[in-house]
Chain A
Amino acid sequence: MLQTKLRSLAPKNDVVSFLILAAILLVALPILFDIFRLNLIGKYLTFAFVALGLVLSWGLGGILSLGQGIFFGLGGYAMAMFLKLEASSPENTAIQSTPGIPDFMDWNQLTELPWFWEPFHSFGFTLFAIIALPTVFAYIIGAAMFKRRVGGVYFAIITQAIAAILTILIIGQQGFTGGVNGITDLRTLLGWDIRTDSAKYILYFINVILLLATLVVAQYIRKSKLGRLLVAMRDSEDRVRFSGYDVSNFKIFIFCIAGIFSSIGGAMFTLQVGFMSPSLIGIVPSIEMVIFAAVGGNLSIFGAIYGALIVNWAKTILSESYPELWLFAMGAMFIAVVLAFPKGLAGIYESYVQPWVDKKLKAIQDKKAKK
Chain B
Amino acid sequence: MYQQKDFVLTIEGLTVSFDGFKAVNDVSLYIEEQEIRVIIGPNGAGKTTVLDLICGRTSATAGSIKFKGKELTKLKEHEIVHAGVGRKFQNPSIYEDLTVFENLELSYPKGKKVWGALTFRRDQDVIDKVNEIAQMIFLQEKLNSPANLLSHGQKQWLEIGMLLIQDPELLMLDEPVAGMSVSERKQTAELLQRITKDRSVLVIEHDMHFVEEIADRVTVLHQGQVLSEGSMDKVQNDPKVIEVYLGH
Contacts and interface: CB of A to CB of B under 8 A. Distances in A.
A236 B88 CA distance: 13
Given A243-B166, A246-B76, A250-B114, A225 B93 contact: no
Interface in B114-150: 114, 117-120
Given A224-B118, A226-B117, A246-B76, A236 B109 contact: no
Interface string A236-259: 101111111111011001000000
B30 interface: no
A232 interface: yes
Interface stretch (B97-105, B179-187, B213-221): B97-105
A291 B61 CA distance: 46
Interface in A198-252: 221, 224-226, 228-229, 231-232, 234-236, 238-247, 249-250
A82 B89 CA distance: 55
A236 B92 CA distance: 10
A243 B162 contact: yes
Contacts, number: 82
Contact of B98 (A224, A228, A250): A228
A110 B125 CA distance: 65
A37 B166 CA distance: 56
Contacts of B111: 225
Nearest to B117: A226
A224 B78 contact: no
Nearest to A246: B78
A243 B118 contact: no
B171 to A, nearest CB: 12
A234 B98 CA distance: 11
A242 B106 contact: no
B55 interface: yes
A235 B96 CA distance: 7
Nearest to A242: B87
Contact of A238 (B86, B89, B113, B162): B89
- Of A236, A240, A243, which is in contact with the most chain B CB atoms at under 10 Å from its CB? A243
B166 A231 contact: no
B192 interface: no
Given A232-B106, A243-B166, A225 B78 contact: no
18 contacts: A221-B118, A225-B105, A226-B117, A228-B106, A229-B106, A229-B117, A231-B95, A231-B98, A232-B98, A232-B106, A239-B94, A242-B55, A242-B86, A243-B166, A245-B78, A246-B76, A246-B78, A249-B113
Interface of A: 221, 224-226, 228-229, 231-232, 234-236, 238-247, 249-250, 253
